[in-house]
């Protein structure tokens, strides 16, 4: 069976020596964190704290809040705003990104830290030095962290396993994406054996949404545009949400991520996109491909990032201009 993570043995020993005998560590995941970013960060934090390390956990969003869908995570109450991060920590661990610009306001901390450990599985990255536990073939950063943690401790407790499982199950699309190898299920098996309740996690992640979500989804679907000529004839389906939609529903931007799930299955389009207006007027653009288009490369070209089939960027233009920009970029998109 191919391993869930493939990295040179020397890399693991370099990482372990950074984590051994360190007095304090700051753990940072990417801005606008998802389940893999938060789960990976909080899992490693739990293990390090149990070993006596003074751990600080955060991410560098300018307007920092804990995303509502993840308020139930074990240890989520231990995260602090980026302003509380030591200016020059002994060790900075960066999780679920290897790009300096995805650190937001915490970019300078990466330069000032005594040592740097980067744990990630994204193919597009730049700008961070240090020890690199980066495997673009890993299904999730949580998979890399699971391997690291198994090298640090003999047993993984249920809360740590639950945090890793959240990363695994979100980044694999509930084990539906092509990254779902036998080794991925072996990782999931180990986590379940540590006491994870998959039904409870699934209920929290996908079975529980505020009423307002259905109202915003309705607004988004009422504006849906199908452009079958786009993406070299493979088709684009797209829509948008406004800050007025969110205000009427009493929701934050972090609660409408699943809108794209209702759009992405559209058979007539390989690519789906949702533009979500933020309070500063900009749009957070989420994109998905049904398998034929590298939207990760397209979004990277537009200043964002992500994976081949799921990626995003921020647009500072209006809806029409954003759509035109996206259509133009997709017309030159790499085919998979």
DSSP state of 333: P
Q: Which one, 75 or 96, has the nearer CB to Mn ion?
A: 96
Smaller CB distance to Mn ion: residue 31 or 53? 31
Binding-residue total with Mn ion (CB under 5 A): 4
Report the alpha-carbon distance of residue 164 to residue 168 in Å, rounded: 6
Q: Taking the complex as a whole, how short is the minimal distance between the CB of residue 170 and Mn ion, in angstroms?
A: 8
* CB closer to Mn ion, 171 vs 270: 171
Q: Quick one: which of 42, 310, 257, 2 has its CA closest to 164?
A: 42
Cβ–Cβ < 8 Å for 228, 221: no
DSSP annotation of 111: H
Q: Are 189 and 104 in contact (CB under 8 A)?
A: no
Phi, psi of 57 (to 5 degrees): -120, 135
Tell which one of 146, 171, 255, 270 touches Mn ion (CB under 5 A). 171
Residue with Cβ nearer Mn ion (94 or 249):
94
Q: 141-152 vs 35-50: helix axis angle to the nearest 10?
A: 10
Q: How far is the CB of 1 from Mn ion (least distance, A)?
A: 22
Strand order in the sheet with 271-277: 225-227, 236-241, 271-277, 283-289, 310-315, 305-306
Nearer Cβ to Mn ion (166/217): 166
What are the structure tokens assigned to 316, written together?
């500072």
H or E segment to which residue 185 belongs: helix 182-193
Distance CA 87, CA 206 (A): 37
- Could you count the other beta carbons within 10 Å of the beta carbon of residue 32? 17
Q: What is the DSSP letter of 127?
A: B
Of 75-83, 88-96, 298-306, 311-319, which segment contacts Mn ion by CB under 5 A?
88-96
Q: Which stretch binds Mn ion (CB under 5 A): 58-66, 94-102, 104-112, 245-253?
A: 94-102
> Interacting stretch for Mn ion, rule CB under 5 A, among 68-76, 168-176, 276-284, 310-318?
168-176
List the x/- string, 135-154, binding to Mn ion by CB under 5 A.
------x-------------
What single-letter DSSP state applies at residue 293?
Answer: B
Containing 24, the helix (H) or strand (E) segment is strand 24-29
Choice between 75 and 171, CB closer to Mn ion: 171
Query: C-alpha angle with apex 128: 125 to 134, nearest 5 degrees?
Result: 55
CB-nearer residue toward Mn ion: 201 or 231: 201
Minimum CB–partner distance for residue 167 and Mn ion (Å):
7
Give the shortest CB-121-to-Mn ion separation in angstroms: 6
- Please, what is the minimum distance in Å from the beta carbon of residue 228 to Mn ion? 31
Which residues in the 29-48 window bind Mn ion by CB under 5 A? 36
Residue span binding Mn ion (CB under 5 A) among the ranges 80-88, 124-132, 134-142, 179-187:
134-142
Q: Which of 45, 75, 96, 275 binds Mn ion (CB under 5 A)?
A: 96
In terms of CB distance, is 36 or 75 closer to Mn ion? 36
CB of 172 to Mn ion, least distance (A): 10
Residues in contact with Mn ion by the rule CB under 5 A: 36, 96, 141, 171
């Amino acid at each position: 069976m191919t391993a869930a993570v493939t990295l040179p043995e020397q890399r693991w020993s370099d990482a372990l020596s950074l984590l051994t005998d360190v007095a304090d560590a700051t753990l940072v995941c990417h801005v606008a964190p998802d389940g893999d970013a938060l789960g990976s960060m909080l899992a490693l934090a739990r293990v390090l704290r149990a070993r006596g390390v003074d751990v600080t956990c955060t991410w560098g969003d300018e307007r920092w809040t804990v995303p509502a869908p993840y308020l139930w995570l074990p240890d989520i109450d231990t995260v602090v705003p980026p302003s509380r991060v030591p200016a020059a920590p002994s060790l900075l661990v960066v999780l679920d990104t290897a790009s300096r610009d995805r650190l937001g306001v915490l970019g300078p901390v990466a330069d000032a830290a005594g040592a740097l450990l980067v744990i990630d599985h994204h193919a597009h990255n730049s700008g961070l030095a240090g020890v690199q536990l980066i495997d673009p073939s890993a299904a999730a950063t949580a998979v890399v962290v699971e391997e690291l943690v198994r090298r640090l401790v003999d047993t993984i407790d249920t809360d740590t396993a639950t945090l890793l499982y959240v990363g695994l199950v979100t980044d694999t699309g509930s084990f539906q994406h092509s990254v779902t190898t036998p080794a991925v299920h072996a990782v999931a098996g180990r986590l379940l054996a540590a006491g994870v309740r998959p039904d409870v996690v699934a209920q929290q992640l996908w079975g529980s949404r505020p009423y307002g979500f259905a109202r915003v989804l309705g607004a988004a679907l009422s504006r849906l545009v199908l452009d079958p000529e786009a993406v070299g004839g493979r088709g684009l389906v797209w829509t948008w949400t406004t800050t007025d939609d969110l205000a009427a529903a009493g929701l934050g931007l972090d609660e409408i991520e699943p809108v794209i799930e209702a759009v992405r299955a559209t058979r007539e389009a390989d690519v789906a996109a949702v533009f979500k207006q933020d309070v500063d007027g900009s749009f957070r653009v989420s994109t998905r491909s049904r398998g034929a288009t590298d939207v990760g490369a397209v979004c990277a070209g537009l200043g964002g990032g992500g994976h081949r089939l799921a990626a995003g960027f921020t647009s500072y233009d209006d809806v029409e201009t954003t759509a035109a920009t996206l259509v133009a970029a997709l017309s030159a998109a790499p085919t998979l």
